[in-house]
Amino acid sequence: MKHFPLPGTEVTAPNVVLGLMRINDKSDEEIRTLVNTARDAGIDFFDHADIYGGDHLCERRFAEAMHLNANERSEITIQTKAGIVTDGPYFDYSYEHLIESVEGSLKALRTDYIDILLLHRPDALVEPDEVARAFDDLHASGKVRAFGVSNHTPRQIDLLKRSVTRPLVANQLQLSITHSPIIAQGIAANMSGEEQSNVLDGGGILDYCRLNDITVQAWSPFQGGFFDGVFLGNDNYPELNAVVDRLAAKYGVAPEAIATGWITRHPANMQVVLGTTTPQRVSDSAAGSELPLTRAEWYELFRAAGHRVP
């Protein structure tokens, strides 16, 4: 498992992360098996959110199952997210809500600190001064060590940075071979008539993050589109799966490793956030951490997913 210093933090992070949004109905033993499988694969970074499972439930189930002592807690990175109110739903980046959410996460996770807190999705009513005050107070109290965002555009990040003095260290964005507008837009720049050349969300978020030492965390790395189902083994993607299967055979890995390796091969030092609760799939995906895909293979996968390469 490849690890790297996460810019703006004291964390040495793996480039594959285990997301825990679906463990609310799992037994203690199932959760321990899932987490320990990840640890055996070199994954020591775990992604949560206050809304996963509803009202901190997945955070609580993680803590109940793992019973981490102080030493075990220090060996892992816990990241969680705040800002979505499910009773609506609506978004809330107010000082009061962020503080309340973190207090709830600390209690549910049975920990004294959160390594990284992300703003979950953009709040149209965001007041950056309030976010800055919340971040400053949470950091000064030792309750949160680093901060970031999720699903944010370059300009939304710039707006926050007018007030927020703490580094924004991560931006969690949807990315897979088949759902890759943050990459495809750049490749198709200045190609009139090509749909993938359309500038969305202000454009250039991947380059923006690289320029500003913000680590991109790729969620739904196996999704065909926006929650359209997994593309691996899916009859709707015959050309792509033929390439995936051929490369999997070449490298002696499962298809999940090829899908993971397509993201980790990118020089942006991105992290792949797994959402599976199947231990074998965690192991299979982790094998893509340092997969040495060639440039030709990377672009072949990109083309096979239906993207245009001039």
Cite the active site residues: 52
Summary count for the chain: helices (H), strands (E): 12, 12
DSSP E strand boundaries for 20-143: 45-47, 77-82, 84-85, 90-91, 114-119
**CB crowding 179-198: b at 16 or more within 10 Å, else e:** bbbbbbbebbeeeeebebbe
Question: Do 176 and 231 form a contact (C-beta atoms < 8 A)?
Answer: yes
Contact (CB, 8 A) for 84 and 124: no
Cα torsion 90, 91, 97, 100 to 10°: value is 80
Q: Give the three-class secondary structure for 55.
A: coil
Contact yes or no for 135/146 (Cβ under 8 A)? no
Residue type, 305: A
